[in-house]
Amino acid sequence: MDHSPDSVIRRWFRDVWNAGREDVIDRMLAPNAIVHGLGEVMIGPDQFKPYFRIMPSALHDFDVHVVRTVVDGELVVAHCHVTARHAGSGLGGPATGRMVDFWGMTMARVVNGELVEGWNCFDFLTMYAQLGWIKVPTDG
pLDDT, one tens digit per residue, over 106-130 is 999 999 999 999 999 999 999 999 9
121, 123, 125, 128: CA torsion to nearest 10: -120
Whether residue 139 is predicted with pLDDT greater than 70 in this model: the reply is no
Query: What pLDDT is stored for residue 52 in this prediction?
Result: 95
Query: What pLDDT is stored for residue 84 in this prediction?
Result: 96
Q: Domains in the chain, please, with CATH?
A: 5-130 (3.10.450.50)
Among 62, 131, 119, CA closest to 92: 131
Q: Considering the entire predicted model, what is its pTM?
A: 0.92
